[in-house]
């Protein structure tokens, strides 16, 4: 029986940052999927991973990320890439979260570059604050020092929720993040089309979400 629903943030509750990355690549004349390629190279210790664990600050990330691009013969504006992380809220998914929170435990599992509380204090939180309030548990890579797809990240969520992995449904837009959760026993849903994902979630939890 499902006791908890775990949500990713960007690409699930908001539009995918990869949409913004693709627009930047087109604007800058970069090969398609340049950002994905850079993020997939040495994924555990590259600039992106180190920033999400808060091992480097924004300036350090920019230097490292641009150096990684240069190693591939590319010129990338890392600050422009970071700007693409701010997506548009998906009301249909937020409503599904709201319905889930009325009956089940809920958690937000997000790889981020700045703690949400800090972003809010700086006036950079956008719509995130009202969404975060719906969750029982929030696990942020920039706070806990590990990140998806590291198994410890999922373990922390289960420990804080007080549930076993087999009692969880996890939604993420990246297969690489779903794989370890599925191996632990979670029901996983890959979010491409939000309506399709919600239909899968309804089937998993057994009650309407709209």
Please give the radius of gyration of the chain, using alpha carbons only, rounded to the nearest integer. Answer: 17
pLDDT attached to residue 129: 74
Residues 72, 118: one domain?
no
Number of residues in the chain? 210
Residues 98, 64: one domain?
no
Report residues of the chain scoring pLDDT below 50.
none
Q: Which domain holds residue 117?
A: 4-16+87-205
What is the pTM for the complete model shown?
0.89
pLDDT attached to residue 173: 96
Alpha-carbon distance of 158 to 6, in angstroms, equals: 9
pLDDT attached to residue 125: 60
- On whether residue 97 sits in a domain, the answer given is yes
Residues 159, 71: one domain?
no
Count CB atoms within 10 A of the CB of residue 67.
12
């Amino acid at each position: 029986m499902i006791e908890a629903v775990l949500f990713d943030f960007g690409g699930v509750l908001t539009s995918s940052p990869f949409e913004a990355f693709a627009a930047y690549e087109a604007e800058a004349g970069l090969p398609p999927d340049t950002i994905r390629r850079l993020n997939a190279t040495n994924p555990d210790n590259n600039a992106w991973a180190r920033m999400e664990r808060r091992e480097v600050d924004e300036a350090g990330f920019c230097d490292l990320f641009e150096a990684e691009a240069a190693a591939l013969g590319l010129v990338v504006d890392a600050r422009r890439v970071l700007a693409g992380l701010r997506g548009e809220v998906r009301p249909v998914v937020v409503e599904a979260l709201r319905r889930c929170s009325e009956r089940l435990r809920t958690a937000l599992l997000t790889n981020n570059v700045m703690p949400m509380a800090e972003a809010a204090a700086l006036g950079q939180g956008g719509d995130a604050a009202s969404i975060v309030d719906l969750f029982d548990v929030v696990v942020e890579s920039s706070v806990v020092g590990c990140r998806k797809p590291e198994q410890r990240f999922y373990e922390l969520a289960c420990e804080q929720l007080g549930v076993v992995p087999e009692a969880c449904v996890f939604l993420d837009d990246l297969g690489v993040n779903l794989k370890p959760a599925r191996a632990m026993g979670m029901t996983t849903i890959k979010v491409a089309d939000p309506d399709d994902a919600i239909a899968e979630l309804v089937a998993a939890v057994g009650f309407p979400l709209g």
